[in-house]
Structure 1
Amino acid sequence: MQQGPWEALKALARKEGLTPFMVLLAALDVVLAHESGQHDVAVGTPVAGRNRREVEGLIGFFVNTVVMRTDLSGNPTLRELLGRVRKTCVEAYAQLDIPLEQIVAALQPGREAGQTPFYRVSFNFQNAPLSEVHIPGLVLRPIVMESGLAKLDLSLQLTEGAEGLTGLWEYSTDLYEERTVRRWMEGFERVVRALVEKPEQRVGEVEWMG
């Protein structure tokens, strides 16, 4: 997403009292709802787990996964959907310290081998991308590594940079073909434009496919 549309999305977020993450999550929810035919959409997202000052300087892995469950029933307008996503996120942020493993143990959902409980799709938005680190005699640069193995059915990672927004889609080739995921990529961009330009449009009316 180029700088112009990205700035328009951030302006929408400020106007509606949301974060850019919430707007982007809403767009992904619309794509998933249209493609699956379901109105109850659950997306897992990683959180840093450093929401207290006393742990900011500690070395260790504090990341937790939070499941954002969005209700798209009733064919709401895109603006109404943004309100629902905001409510979902705010309620989830209030429970950030509860490990997902503890929730799984308490609820004991039905398990399938090789499947993550509660969600099959993940979304990660990185608005503080890593840059080069210079130390005497050494320069450290971030690199993108491909594992060759999809951890979930579908994962979307978006990163904010100087030129706008870039995305990385990871998917299970046992389930989806490349052309299918490319269609979702294009549809995602169309939904983002609809959120910015036609927020009173209803979810079911969004022309997300070319």
Structure 2
Amino acid sequence: MNTLVLRTDLSGDPTFREVLERVRDFDLDAYAHQDVPFERLVDVLSPTRTESFHPLFQTMVVLQNQESARIDLPGLSVTSQPVHTGISKFDLTFSFTETHDEAGRVTGIDGSLEFSTELFEVATARSLADRLTRLLDGVTSDPDVRVHSIQMLTEPEQQRVLEAGRGEVRRFSPSTVPAAFGAQVVRGSG
């Protein structure tokens, strides 16, 4: 496995279908250079290094869609077990794994989110996962939707954001600008 750093251009308010085309083109170009080890890329680019964040990206998206390895040993039953270290290498890691039926046909995708507990609380990480789910629901139901028009927040979340942005409500007496200025001058000289 080799990590590829990929960026997506969302300028111009594209549709999701257009975003997929951009991602495909960018990724195909990147895959043409996938033989370059990630560590070599970091050495060549020489980004500013700090222990507080990864040098090239903070969010990773992983798709596990390869066939599961099967080991057939006479008289031995072998099953794979996921291993969780309890340590997140990146700020956020969204992992997706294809699910299959008995015949091996893809039946869906399972997802999980690993996150840095130094940066995110469980409720915040869950909220990010919920928003990603809303995004995926929106783009799969209408691939021609403009990505900037997809509603990421629930109605209560939108209300909280609007209320927080309004600030403190202050009462003032209606007045003209010259009258308010004169009143301030009187207060300041007293």
Q: What's the TM-score, normalizing by structure 2?
A: 0.71
Is 1:153–2:91 an aligned residue pair? yes
Runs of 4+ with deviation above 3 angstroms: 131-134
What amino acid is aligned across from residue 78 of structure 2 in structure 1?
Answer: L
Deviations 1:25-77 (A, max 9, x none): xxxxxxxxxxxxxxxxxxxxxxxxxxxxxxxxxxxxxx221111111122222
Q: How far, CA to CA, are the matches of 1:152 and 1:76 in structure 2?
A: 28
1:14-163 equivalence runs, <5 A: 63-130=1-68, 133-162=71-100, 163=107
- 1:139-190 per-position Cα deviation (integer Å, ceiling 9, x unaligned): 1111122211111101011111124211121000111111112122222222
Whole-angstrom CA distance in 2 between matches of 1:166 and 1:147: 20
Residues 132 and 104 of structure 1, relative CA distance in 2, 3 Å threshold:
closer
In the TM superposition, residue 193 of structure 1 has moved relative to its aligned partner by 2.0
Is 1:172 aligned to residue 116 of structure 2?
Answer: yes
Q: Whose Rg is larger? A: 2
In the TM superposition, what is the alpha-carbon distance from 1:209 to its structure 2 partner? Answer: 2.4
SS at match of 1:147: coil
Amino acid at match of 1:155: T
For CA contacts below 8 A with separation 6 or more, give which structure has more relative contact order: 1
How far does residue 132 in structure 1 lie from its aligned partner after superposition? 5.6
Letter of the structure 2 residue corresponding to residue 192 of structure 1: L
Report % sequence identity: 35
Residue in 2 that maps onto 1:195 = 139
3-state secondary structure, aligned to 2:6: strand
Whichever structure has more strand as a proportion of its residues is 1
Query: Does the CA-based 8 Å contact 1:121-1:152 persist in structure 2?
Result: yes
Gaps of 5+ in 2: 101-106, 155-190
Give the Å deviation of 1:103: 1.6
Distance in 2 (alpha carbons) for counterparts of 1:161 and 1:116: 30
RMSD across aligned positions (CA): 1.7
The residue matched to 2:72 in structure 1 has which SS?
strand
What TM-score do the two structures reach when normalised by structure 1? 0.65
Counterpart of 1:88 in structure 2: which amino acid? Answer: F
Q: Secondary structure of the equivalent of 2:128?
A: helix
CA apart distance, 1:131: 6.0
